[in-house]
Structure 1
Amino acid sequence: MSRTRYPAVAGQFYPDQMSSLQGAVDQYLKEGQELLQSRHADLIARSDQLRALIAPHAGYIYSGPIAGSAWALLANSARFQQVLIVGPAHHYPVSGVVLPAATRLMTPLGAIAISTQLVARLAARPCVQVLDIAHQKEHSMEVHLPFMQRVLGDVPVAIAAVGKIDQSEMAELLAEFVLDPSTLLVVSSDLSHFLNAQAAGERDRATSARICAAAAGQIGPQDACGSSILNGLLEVVRAHNLICHELDRRTSADTAGSPERVVGYGAWAVFE
């Protein structure tokens, strides 16, 4: 039986009309491509070695440009057959990793099929369960779906919300998908919250340095809301001699907010 998850934050975090949403996402991707071409042309040339992305999940006026820098790395890519988006659970207490019961996801750009293969592989792990209520209001994965649709078309997806979990267990789960060349892993995380712009910049700069150094276990919840996922991913990066590069990093003061109380956003790519 088909079950659909409908958007929880369309009209709040991003436009709820198809034409407006498509235009916004395309503009962020265009700006992202321009940034990559000016700062990271060498990474564009290595896009066939891409293993994972880290990208933020706030309202588009705040984090959309930075998410665009991450997703733009996939422009004209037809390599990935499926996408796994993993983000922190914000609205419901979660232990381990939880999946929705849905068989498809809806956005204002249309329906996306849930990958039954990814779901089966995830569900085989003892730390994973189906908990639909944890996904009903969750935005950390939803906000990436329109970017995925514009860049990769109708590629099937799985979304997984993460709560309290051991780092090694998180790493073991993520490794299977990071090392699968047919699957793109997207880790959804913002950075520091509610510092002033200067303090946020300093903290986020230090967090980015730890991400690029694959310093697993050294990112705390005060550094990133997806810290448990990031630490697991960095353990995989270190164990398999992968490389993590910063693509973009800003705060809400740089995009649409006050400098007094900001949230940090960053984009990174993991390569072979």
Structure 2
Amino acid sequence: MIRIPAVAGSFYEADPVRLRKQIEWSFLHDLGPKSLPSVPQNKPPQRSNRFFVVPHAGYMYSGPVAAHAYYHLSLEGSPDTVIILGPNHTGLGSYVSIWHKGKWKTPLGEVSVDDEISLELVKLTEIIDIDERAHLYEHSIEVQIPFLQYLFGQNFKIVPIVIMMQTPDVAESLAEGIYKLVSSGKKDIVVLASSDLNNYEPHDKTIEKDNLAIDEIQKLDYKGLFRVVEEKDVTACGYGPIMTVLILAKKLGKKPYVLRHATSGDTSGDKSSVVGYLSVRFGD
């Protein structure tokens, strides 16, 4: 069972050579880390940065911001499994949908789904449905995979989970299941929360609204983030995934480090109607 890319050629380059150059452009951009990553051959005995927030727009807009998260992820070597939590933009599938086996294809090759971790998560949480429909046209998970392949080749597996029901209760259940897997130590697991921040308002207004959400992220207050989204009309699309990693970070004693905050206007130059982007690592 192979998942075919839905946004290659639009959100990122479809040609593998051009795609690698686009990813390198993201790392070297003024808004990016300004340096290409170098993945160590030997992983440290204990991974510090296990959870990340990373944006999911077209690379020409959000790539440099996303590159910060991937740069820090690269410093500690290839994880065994990357759980990617993304919002559901299409309305297809269940409230929480997992693609539980097979491979995902991108212009850089194929990456295997960790069927063992996927099925264990389904059992542990009791809220995840095995449902591929939610993933067929969804970009929030797909756009993360070429970055991972650029760093680690085929030396990792993924667990793709799309969340439609973005509530604190769902985040709590997901976080508890993932926490049990991470704490077991059976595999080296990293979790990516794929989300953009405020959508399609002027740059200054978006920065103002984004900062309300960032304040709650820095406090690891997942219920506070939910209130901000609901009450202050901060149109962050992946607040469910972010809430999940906030809970996980608090459970495992990780601190939030904001790596880069910018908008699409910072890369495109058009600040009349922008989308906010954020990279955060949660580490020691």
Q: TM-score, normalised on structure 1? A: 0.88
Q: Distance in 2 between matches of 1:217 and 1:66?
A: 25
Q: Equivalent of 2:222, from 206, 216, 223?
A: 216
Structure 1's 23 and 127: CA in aligned 2 closer, same or farther, altered over 3 A? Answer: same
SS at match of 1:264: strand
Which residue of the partner structure matches residue 25 of structure 2?
A: 27
How much does 1:172 deviate? Answer: 3.3
Q: Which moved more, 1:192-201 or 1:68-77?
A: 68-77
How much does 1:94 deviate? Answer: 4.8
Which residue of the partner structure matches residue 178 of structure 2?
A: 177
Q: Distance in 1 between matches of 2:136 and 2:15?
A: 20
How much does 1:35 deviate? Answer: 7.3
Alignment deviations for residues 154-192 of structure 1 (CA, whole Å, 9 cap, x no partner): 111111100115413322322443544610100100000
Which residue of the partner structure matches residue 260 of structure 2?
A: 248
Asked if 1:230 corresponds to 2:242, the answer is yes
Q: Equivalent of 2:2, from 4, 7, 15?
A: 4
Q: Distance in 1 between matches of 2:22 and 2:36?
A: 18
- Which structure 1 segments of 5+ residues have no match? 38-44
Would you say the 8 A contact 2:210–2:276 is kept in 1? yes
Would you say the 8 A contact 2:28–2:36 is kept in 1? no
Would you say the 8 A contact 1:75–1:151 is kept in 2? yes
Q: Which moved more, 1:166-175 or 1:132-141?
A: 166-175
SS at match of 2:276: strand
Matches within 5 A, 1:134-145: 134-145=134-145
SS at match of 1:208: helix
SS at match of 1:33: coil
How much does 1:123 deviate? Answer: 1.9
Which residue of the partner structure matches residue 260 of structure 1?
A: 272
Which residue of the partner structure matches residue 98 of structure 1?
A: 97
Q: Distance in 2 between matches of 1:35 and 1:209?
A: 28
Which residue of the partner structure matches residue 14 of structure 1?
A: 12
Alignment deviations for residues 26-59 of structure 1 (CA, whole Å, 9 cap, x no partner): 222344433799xxxxxxx9x9311111100011
- Which structure 2 segments of 5+ residues have no match? 38-43
Q: Equivalent of 2:193, from 183, 187, 191?
A: 187
Structure 1's 36 and 26: CA in aligned 2 closer, same or farther, altered over 3 A? Answer: closer
The alignment yields a C-alpha RMSD, in angstroms, of 2.3
Q: Distance in 2 between matches of 1:36 and 1:167?
A: 37
Alignment deviations for residues 81-111 of structure 1 (CA, whole Å, 9 cap, x no partner): 1111010010024543101265000000001
Which residue of the partner structure matches residue 156 of structure 1?
A: 157
Which residue of the partner structure matches residue 168 of structure 2?
A: 167
Q: Which moved more, 1:182-191 or 1:250-259?
A: 250-259
Q: Distance in 1 between matches of 2:36 and 2:198?
A: 24
Q: Distance in 2 between matches of 1:194 and 1:257?
A: 14
SS at match of 2:104: strand
How much does 1:228 deviate? Answer: 1.9
Which residue of the partner structure matches residue 82 of structure 2?
A: 83
How many residue pairs get aligned? The number is: 262
Structure 1's 177 and 267: CA in aligned 2 closer, same or farther, altered over 3 A? Answer: same
How much does 1:121 deviate? Answer: 1.6
Would you say the 8 A contact 1:215–1:234 is kept in 2? yes
